[in-house]
Amino acid sequence: MSQPVKIKNALISVYYKDGLAPLVQHLAEQGVTLFSTGGTEQFIKDLGLPVTAVEDLTSYPSILGGRVKTLHPKVFGGILNRRGLTADQEQITQYEIPEIDLVIVDLYPFEETVKAGGTDEEIIEKIDIGGISLIRAAAKNFNDVVIIASKADYGTLLQQLQEQNNSTTLAQRKAYAKKAFHTSSHYDTAIFNYFNNEEPLNVFKQSIAQAQTLRYGENPHQQGTFYGNLEEMFTKLNGKELSYNNLVDVDAAVSLIDEFTEPTFAILKHTNACGVASRPTILQAWIDALACDPVSAFGGVLIANREIDLATATAINNLFFEVLIAPSYQPEAVELFREKKNRVILQRNEVELSNKQFKTLLNGVIEQDKDLSLEGAEQMTTVTEKVPSAESIQDLIFANKIVKHTKSNTIVFVKNNVLLASGVGQTSRVDALKQAVVKANSFGFDLNGAVMASDAFFPFPDCVELAAEAGIVAVLQPGGSIKDKDSVEMANQKGIAMVTTGVRHFKH
């Protein structure tokens, strides 16, 4: 069962034919009988090579608009018969079934049709039946059959056949079978998830066909892999490969910057913003974002939502950073950044992102909808005697965008569309506030006239009291505490405004 298997008969029926010609030509030169269907049959004929139509093998035409072509015992018997089993060999002799040693089959482009916005009818017609059955059959019988389910393997198989007298080893066939079962399971997962959009079954299925091995995980002693297509998301203009931690920070940066429409620059460290500013120009946004916390900005991830020109690049170039992301760059700016080869410069591409999030936890997986809620002025209810000014409302909206993307417990201070300071990931909300006050003071920011946002309600009035004493004039919080009244009374006592939104933004 483990001896090399020489290719005598091959079934070839593929949707994508690029790269197929050299392999087919080699098979024909070696005297392999080629069976094929439809467009692939014509492709082989156009190469001037002999080919037998599957219809001639089965004595049955392609029917139902091509839905049924290969589903026949003479095809599947040729693939599934066990060469070492006498009963199987007697039956294929009796029914004149050729042994098929090689199956080259891919699948209709189901995912591509969904992604392109195809109609329901177009999408349903791209659910492959014959192809998936051929792949599974050949992979199941890997002891005797080679299955090639991807054009990516044409070249590898050709080289093996050239070097091994048109034969394959059991280890090679098993490796191809593994790839084939990945192809079939990925395909079925895509189909299931398409059907599972409406009234979904409560099951978790994900399949990502591309992977990138990372230098290591969160720490050097941990292995790390990214599953996905980074090249679709970003065009890398300079720098080394992204690390696990880089990717986590980049994800946080993208989520944050997408909240802003005006020219905005953000600087993140360990997924938390340490500088954010919106200004008329991206250069001024960079200058003011960096001023928020130039110490934490060192080695951070930078992101902008406007093109980086040479003037902005020159200003950024004075800082050591890990990653810079922008929608576009002036050529001169890219050349400047390339003076330091390790800095990662990413140009962000337009890619639709998933609205779901999931991660492994305990002995399973948790999944949730992304937090896509963002409250504007119309969602703010003033609960104090003092009403926030128009300027404060704009700053509260700005602060709420940042607090939504900062680790809980968090407090954010903002003035004039600039982050002044934040308290991040503290075990109590009052500690988060105290941290933010200390940080603002350490960089010389005047909190008088600034606003404060909290990701969750205040269990006690102490945060409101401390904020007012620091100079805060307006506070945003979701509300919902049984002691909301105490915080409102403290705000009234201190003469500051408070609004509630009814929406909590925990980020753990």
Active site residues: 140, 270
Pairwise CA distance, residues 270 & 259, whole Å: 19
DSSP string, 18-29: TT-HHHHHHHHH
- What are the distances in angstroms from CA 214 to CA 217, 219, 223, 280, 422? 7, 11, 7, 38, 31
Pairwise CA distance, residues 475 & 363, whole Å: 41
- What are the distances in angstroms from CA 9 to CA 42, 99, 141, 191, 455? 18, 7, 15, 32, 66
Structure tokens given for 30: 């070696």
Q: 3-class DSSP state for residue 291?
A: helix
As beta bridge partners, residue 234 has 348
Tell me which residue of 111, 300, 222 sits closest to 286, measured CA to CA: 300
Q: 3-class DSSP state for residue 328?
A: coil
Structure tokens given for 467: 């904020």
- Which amino acid would we find at residue 218? E
Q: 3-class DSSP state for residue 211?
A: strand
Strands 102-105 and 321-326: unpaired
Place of tokens 């004595």: 59
First to last CA, the chain: 54
Residues 6+ apart with CB under 8 A from 105: 11, 12, 13, 14, 131, 134, 135, 138, 147, 148, 149
CB 102 within 8 A of CB 160: no
Q: 3-class DSSP state for residue 147?
A: strand
Strands 321-326 and 344-348: parallel
* Sign, CA torsion 387/393/396/397: positive
What does residue 305 show for φ and ψ, rounded to 5 degrees? -110, 20
What's the distance, CA 46 to chain centroid? 41
Structure tokens given for 266: 């953000």
Tell me which residue of 272, 251, 356, 263 sits closest to 309, measured CA to CA: 263
Place of tokens 């809620």: 373
